[in-house]
């Protein structure tokens, strides 16, 4: 018997009668080459390691942590330029800098 689709949902079998494969959830992590993306002030937390992003060991430790957690990918965010100014020039008073200026050692 063919798979019956009700409101776009199948009954768990493919049209050929074989069981449908379960969908897999992929989990990605996010990092940005700045000391405080959307959580300003976290650099004060003793557990924060963002100040060591220019060192290879930061990326090795992060890779091990993500692998241990079963994370599928790491998205490295960046931007094409500095954001708007606050009081002075964007180079001294902008958020989310250095945005890619510090190279990731393993790359």
Residue 20 lies in a domain: no
pLDDT exceeds cutoff 80 at 90: no
Phi and psi angles of residue 63, each rounded to the nearest 5 degrees, phi first: -60, -40
pLDDT category at 64 given cuts 50, 70, 90 is very high
Residue 104 lies in a domain: yes
Residue 93 lies in a domain: yes
- Quote the domain boundaries for residue 63: 26-38+49-107
Return d(Cα 11, Cα 14) in angstroms, integer: 9
Contact 29, 74 (CB under 8 A): yes
Nearest to 34 by CA among 104, 90, 107: 104
Residue 30 lies in a domain: yes
The mean pLDDT of 24-47, rounded to a whole number, is 81
Q: Locate 7 and state its tokens.
A: 């409101």
Residue 9 lies in a domain: no
pLDDT exceeds cutoff 70 at 104: no
**Residue 103 or residue 2, greater confidence:** 103
**Residue 5 or residue 20, greater confidence:** 20
Q: Locate 73 and state its tokens.
A: 């990918």
Please give the pLDDT value at position 2: 47
> How many domains does the structure of the chain reveal?
1
Q: Show the CA angle centred on residue 14, arms to residues 10 and 16, nearest 5°.
A: 140
Residue 21 lies in a domain: no
What percent of the chain is modeled with pLDDT above 90?
20
pLDDT category at 66 given cuts 50, 70, 90 is very high
Q: Locate 40 and state its tokens.
A: 């300003």
Residues 6+ apart with CB under 8 A from 102: 33, 53, 54
The mean pLDDT of 101-105, rounded to a whole number, is 59
Residue 1 lies in a domain: no
Bridging pattern class, strands 28-32 and 73-77: parallel
């Amino acid at each position: 018997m063919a798979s019956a689709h009700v409101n776009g949902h199948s009954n768990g079998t493919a049209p050929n009668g074989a069981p449908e494969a379960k969908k897999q959830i992929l989990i990605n992590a996010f990092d940005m080459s700045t000391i405080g993306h959307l959580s300003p002030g976290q650099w004060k937390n003793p557990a924060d390691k963002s100040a060591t992003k220019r060192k290879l060991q930061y990326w090795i430790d992060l890779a091990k942590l993500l692998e241990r957690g079963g994370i599928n990918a790491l998205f490295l965010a960046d931007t094409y330029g500095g954001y708007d100014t606050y009081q002075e020039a964007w180079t001294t008073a902008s958020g989310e800098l250095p945005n890619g200026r510090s190279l990731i050692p393993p790359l």
